[in-house]
Structure 1
Amino acid sequence: IEENSDEQMVVQLSPVQLAKEIKLLEKQMYKLASDLEFERAGEVRNQIKKLKDSQFKAAL
């Protein structure tokens, strides 16, 4: 999946859907970290950051 298609998907999410998605990803990230899967946890953290950043860009 390309960067642009990810951003377009995020913009289409409502604030409630976005919050649920972030919460789900955070849960997944903490599970990976507790299982010592730090590299994969870092990837999920980056996804969360992209979602949060796109939320603020969409609000502007």
Structure 2
Amino acid sequence: QFKAQNTDMSDPHENQIETEYLELMNKLPTLNEKIEKTNFTDIKKAHFKAEAEKIIWIRCSI
């Protein structure tokens, strides 16, 4: 089974990765609030509308 290695904080590169990871994890909760929730039906309608427009565009260009 996979075991995560301990971070070697004496390595500057490892230290930078860990710092950037923690910064991103701290920003994540605030980003989640800004994400617009969309249900599956809305996505499906938008997909079919885009497909229909694509078909019409192809037929007009023939």
- TM bucket, shorter chain: 0.3 to 0.5
Structure 1 or 2: more helix by fraction: 1
Normalising to structure 1: TM-score of the pair?
A: 0.40
Structure with more contact order per residue of length (Cα contacts < 8 Å, sep ≥ 6): 1
Which one has a bigger Cα radius of gyration?
A: 2
